[in-house]
Chain A
């Protein structure tokens, strides 16, 4: 599969990354290279095999519906780049 420049820019946008003009070609080349290799999964003899959803076979791992308060609320906000009235401040968005 050949990847276009538009495609990689679209993908970067989805990932909220900005690729500099001079980087685009390199990223494109590398991505193409890796995907060409990764394509071998399409030749693997996997007809009829189920997908592995998780790395192990655990199921029904549930938690009891019991309140446990986090012990250090202050520490949760100490890393905030900008905060006000105990909330995280961001530029205005309309919801």
Chain B
């Protein structure tokens, strides 16, 4: 039995019937990390010693009956923009290279309350800005299916670590597709929950009105389980929704008869690769077989959403990233004579080019004279996008699209033209703009054997429906039984 190939629900079962111990599981993951990290580079910080110690401790407490809980002793990996008390939280930026958070993010409190074991902090595009993890200030993360390819991003470390069996599951964050797109590139499941379902307290903000923490897992059942852990109202986050807790695992009915699925034709047009389209069409056929009613319709918002996304996300980022000024924490330039030098040099030396580009764009669209033409307009377009989705959801239970226009591209191949790079987010950003939940699950591979992701979008707080629709497909096609990452080197 290869422990690191098991899903969490399998690990849980083996723990409860004593086939495995907590220490064995943690040890297996630490070994796997030590074996694969040099090829994959998924981590910024590995908590090896800490994890082993904690595993022993939890194991003793579980054995003595001091603690209970289904997930006690289950390891997890955490994207490095989620604050972990006493552990480095770097956002893969030189700015926070030595930053140790004084507090735990609310999701970390929840993870710790379950007595789960944090194996380490996962690599990402700097401050979550990017779609390939190549914008990490530290190192590039590689795709476990082919290590010449990117894992996607910005939660590339998280998706790669799950795919490579270096963590059983992980927490990522998604501002415009940063969970779903790397999940698609790495052949795993990734969900961006409804805005407000998961507390953002302790998630280093990129774009406050779009950011959401979510699970990256091996399968849909694990996704439901991790969602159970991290959801819930948080008084520390004003945008957190106060709703009754749901057990998402109960939604996995493996039955979608009569479910109405809408296919927005604009999401299958220009720019979407033929192979992606083909696999998506096969998936659509599968859904029909499974008893869903599928219908094509028009949802002409993709370009508006993308433009709106970059205006709003960059505007908010320009303000959110102002606090990195070299005064209270973070990088301070050695080159200064006065305060102004500290500001300008610290920020210019420690932010990467993509972060600077977005700060400049965001500052520009908020600056006097341009606010109305860009930011204000974008906020109106946002209302329009929401209205269009509302209209669609009056007819369909879920909307099905590709997660990304292509499969994972080669490292170093990403466009030097930022606009082209931004266009790759076309399938995912509208979900964030409208605050909706979206899930990406693998639906096949291309000719090179790289995974293709399918995105399912639901109306607000329809996570149960999305999980069931995803689960039913997963059970029918058994992707992970047919395809496994091979760490190909060519």
Contact = CB atoms under 8 A, between A and B. Distances in A.
Direct contact of A and B (CB under 8 A): yes
Nearest to B379: A51
Contact of B380 (A46, A55, A75, A91): A46
Contacts of B356: 17, 19, 27
Classify chain A's interface size.
Answer: 35 or more
B357 interface: yes
Interface string B479-490: 000000000000
Contacts of B307: 37-41
Could you tell me the dominant secondary structure of chain A's interface residues?
loop
B301 to A, nearest CB: 9
Contacts of B379: 51-53
B383 A55 contact: no
A34 B310 contact: yes
B378 A37 contact: no
B348 A91 contact: no
Interface residues of B, number: 73
B344 A61 contact: no
Contacts of B123: none
Contact of B102 (A3, A31, A76): A76
Nearest to B373: A42
A85 interface: no
Interface in B279-321: 303-304, 306-308, 310-311, 318
A15 B359 contact: yes
Interface in B101-134: 102-103
Contacts of B332: 81-82
Interface of A: 1, 3, 7-8, 11-12, 14-19, 23, 27, 30-31, 33-35, 37-42, 44-46, 49-56, 58, 61, 63, 70, 72, 75-76, 78-82, 88, 90-91, 93
14 contacts: A11-B360, A14-B367, A17-B359, A31-B360, A33-B417, A37-B419, A40-B303, A41-B377, A46-B381, A49-B383, A52-B386, A56-B196, A58-B241, A80-B329
Interface of B: 85-86, 98-100, 102-103, 195-196, 209-210, 235, 238-239, 241, 303-304, 306-308, 310-311, 318, 322, 325-332, 336-339, 341-345, 347-348, 351, 353, 356-357, 359-361, 363-365, 367, 370, 373-374, 376-384, 386-387, 417-419, 422, 435
